[in-house]
Each structure stands twice: as C-alpha cells, then as structure tokens.
Amino acid sequence: MMCSKTVRSVPGSLLLAVIVLGLLSGCGRRSEPEFTADPLTQTLLPEAQAAVREQMDQNFGTVQQLQVPLEAPINWGGINGTIEQVSVAEGEEPHWGVTISGAVERLSGEKLRVVSSSDHVPGFPPVLTVQSHSGRDGIVKFEEELPADATEPIRFVAQPVHRLLTGQALYMQHCSACHGVSGAGDGPQSQILNPKPRDFRYGLLKYTSTSIGHKASTDDLRKTLKQGIAGTGMPAFKALANQEIDQIVDYAKYLAIRGEVERAVATDAAIDFSKSAAEGQDRQELAADLEDYADEDLPGIFQDEIARISDQWQQADLESSIVQPALTLPEPLEPSRTDESLTSLANGRRIYLSKAGQCASCHGETGRGDGTQTQQIHKRPDGSPYEKPGLHDAWGHLVKPRDLTYGVFHGGRDPVEIYRRVFAGVKGTPMPAYGMSGLSEPEIWDLVNYLLYLAGDYPDVNESDLESPPASN
C-alpha cells in the first residue's frame, strides 16, 4: 500500500488521476516476482515453513537466482562436475583435480557452487572461486582455503545457468499470465479460464503418449506447446522456434519438479509439524523436535524426493513408457477383429454402451457428455463428499465428460492419440485407463472407430449400417 500513502494528501480529481497513473505505472516500483509457497507448506508451523523454504532455496534457488539439482533431467546449459584431491608427488601437498561435464573446457574465473559432498566435510566453503585451471592436468586452484581432510569427490555446479535463464524469460513472457510465476496455474488470466491452466506442481499432465502411471515425455510437452490444447485456453505457440520451445519445456519441467518436491516434503513435514498437529503439544518439546527434524531429516528427505521425482521424469522419456499400439485403425465397416459377426463400428458402439465399458455412464448414451455420473455427488480422495454434483479432477476442479459429438479431441484427433486416451485415460481426471481394465487392443480400436463416428468423421455411415452385419467377402 505504498501508493495510497503518497496519494492521501492530494485532493479531488487530481487524486483520481494520480491513482490511475499509479496503477498504470505500478507506482513506479514493481514488486519482484517470487515463488510462492505451496498451500501445503502454508499449513505448517512458521518455523517449519522457514525450514522448508530454506531447503527449497538451497536446492532450487529463487526466481532471481535459479539453481537446478544435478539429478534433475533438465538441460539447463551449465557446467557440472566433481573436484577431488590428487596427490602429485610424495611429501607434496595434495592438489585438487577437476572433472567437468558440459560444453566448457576451462573453469578459470568461474564460481563453483558446491552441491554435495558425500562426507559433509565441516568448513567446506559453499562457493569456490577458481583462480586457475590447468587444461593439461586438470589441476584447479581456488581463492578459498579448502579443508585438507576432504577425501571424497565434491560435486559442484557452475553458474550461470544461461539456457535455463532464457527458458525462464520466455516462460515469464508467454506463459506466466496463465500458469503463474511458480507454475501453480494461478496467473492473473487463470480466473476467467475453464478448464484452469495446469498447476505443474502435481507433476501430472493430462495428454501424454505415455502409459498409465507415467509422467509426460519431453515430446508430449513440446507437442502441447506447438499445437496448444484444442477447445481450451491453452494456445498454440506456432511462432516460437523449436529451440525456444525446448528451452521453455525445460523451464516448465524445472517448475514441475520444484513444485512436486515441495509438495512431497511438505506432506512429510505436516505429519508432526502442521499447525493442527501442533495443537495441544508442549511448545518447547516441539521446538526441539523441529530443530532436529530441520537439521537431520529434512536435507535427506529433499535429496530422496529430488532423486525419486527426477527419475520419474527420466522414465517418461524411455521408449518402453510410450503407448504404441501394434495394430492400426480398421475400416469402420470391416468385421471387428474380436467379433466377426459385427462391424468394427458396431462392436465399438456395443462396448461403449456395455456395463464393462461404462462410457455411457459419464458421456451419456448419445455421447453428449450428460451421463448419470454427472448428476451424482462424488467423494474426494479423503472420503468426504464434494459440495457440487458432478465429476472432479485431481486439482479439485469440476470436470465435464467430453461431449463426444462436438468433434474436438483435446489430446489430438490422430487415431493413435485417441487410442492412447482410451488406453491410458486422461491423467488426473476421472476418464479411466481402459488398457489397464481389460479392454484388448482390437477392442480399443473398435471404440476409436465409434468415437470418430460420434465426432462426425464418417458422414457416409448411417445409423442402419451400424445394425447390419459386415458385408461378407
């Protein structure tokens, strides 16, 4: 409220002008963007929040000074490596040798940030300034004095993180208005959008080529940015160069990993140190427990979660994680591969309307998205009922089953994409993964045919064709 103070003494219409100008100029002082704490972190005791915050900053940096954990499968464009003591000759003081990975051969003048030392040498400086680095034998000299008892390799990263900074700048320009500075889906424009922009902090994306339980692949993210999501506020960024898309994708992944790690750590911390868990506890005892937890447990929990979540993102890029059907889309009026007495289309409709398929209970008999489940009160994961009738997604928003007659497939209308939607579901939504619940590949292809029919792709096929047996050949 800095602005109103200066305005208070100014009278009448001038006041209005000052306010308008003030609003336009942001009072001349824009507040710096910041990562906001996850709602879960905000349920913690203030001291626990501070401890989580400190570890977050240490592992991921701040908006102004990004840092990337080494495990994260993010191309941030920097250098990382290890330094290790090497003794040169007997009787001589040991030297420090360096191994680097990255597009740089010499480190002279760089500042190296120490990210871990397996034996946690006390007194090891957190930042090392390289005085000289010999390319010939890899020996480095530092301005800082290093403890001689550090015998294990020490890992470091060198700032700056050029590539990620470009990704960040592009993200702030093109994405933050909807997805927010922290990737929480809470940018200023998010309020008018339905569905809401994705909150990346769940690490959960809807439209992926990957199998059940897997995150999105790098290619999935690229595709979402290039093609947008039809039928939603997510635009297609056609004017961005491939290299720019890749840089934004890495930054979006950074936000996703950062956010999911915070959620996981806050979940753990909340067991003992949430405001509600602390009620009625002995304050001094709790403070002592919290100090132990912050010093002894928290750094390890961060490392474990970073490793676990990074690994999941890495998994999603393996070929074995991609849903790749062996067959292709049959002709709609060909005999079904599972029941020769029916056409592929008729078998698709049979499954659609069947008890096992359940499609109609959500999407409605005619596919208009008005099935009975949309009128029922459903339960939250914790068992409590939602206030409003209808289906909800993992982010807690109401979500309508798609009107399948509308002809818009948000995940893409290529038959393989539709196959993947039915096989692996729409992740984070009630749309089930039928590849897990027993539908075979030929059955899913028949369903894809019926979905294309509902979407209007087969204008020459009549209702009566659906009833008649396939033409014998």
Nearer to ligand HEC, 95 or 174 (CB): 174
Nearer to ligand HEC, 176 or 274 (CB): 176
CB of 292 to ligand HEC, least distance (A): 39
Nearer to ligand HEC, 81 or 371 (CB): 371
Nearer to ligand HEC, 46 or 381 (CB): 381
Only one residue has tokens 């093609």, namely: 227
Nearer to ligand HEC, 124 or 395 (CB): 395
CB of 62 to ligand HEC, least distance (A): 20
Q: How far apart are CA 299 and CA 391, in angstroms?
A: 38
CB of 122 to ligand HEC, least distance (A): 42
CB of 471 to ligand HEC, least distance (A): 26
Nearer to ligand HEC, 80 or 224 (CB): 224
Handedness of CA 395, 399, 401, 403 (dihedral sign): negative
CB of 347 to ligand HEC, least distance (A): 12
Q: How far apart are CA 34 and CA 182, in angstroms?
A: 8
Contact 324, 225 (CB under 8 A): no
Residues that bind ligand HEC (CB under 6 A): 174-175, 177-179, 189, 193, 195, 197-198, 205-207, 221, 224-225, 229, 232-235, 237, 248, 252, 352, 357-359, 361-363, 373, 391, 399, 401-402, 409-411, 418, 421-422, 426, 429-432, 434, 447, 451
Contact 352, 450 (CB under 8 A): yes
* String of DSSP letters for 385-434: BPSSSB-B-TTS-B-PPP-TTS---TT-SSHHHHHHHHHH--TTSS---T
For every residue of 23-34, which 3-state class applies, written as one string? Answer: HHHHHHCCCCCC
Q: How far apart are CA 31 and CA 100, in angstroms?
A: 38
Nearer to ligand HEC, 113 or 201 (CB): 201
Measured CA to CA in angstroms, residue 173 lies from 162, 221, 240, 342 at distances of: 17, 18, 12, 53
Q: Which two tokens stand for residue 424?
A: 């692996």
Angle at 449 between CA 444 and CA 450, to 5 degrees: 95
CB of 373 to ligand HEC, least distance (A): 5
Nearer to ligand HEC, 60 or 409 (CB): 409
CB of 455 to ligand HEC, least distance (A): 8
First to last CA, the chain: 80
Phi and psi, residue 84, nearest 5°: -150, 150
| Residue 367, C-beta contacts closer than 8 angstroms, at least 6 positions apart | 352, 403, 404, 405, 454
CB of 190 to ligand HEC, least distance (A): 7
Phi and psi, residue 57, nearest 5°: -65, -40
Quick one: DSSP state of residue 79?
Answer: E
Nearer to ligand HEC, 103 or 192 (CB): 192
CB of 383 to ligand HEC, least distance (A): 18
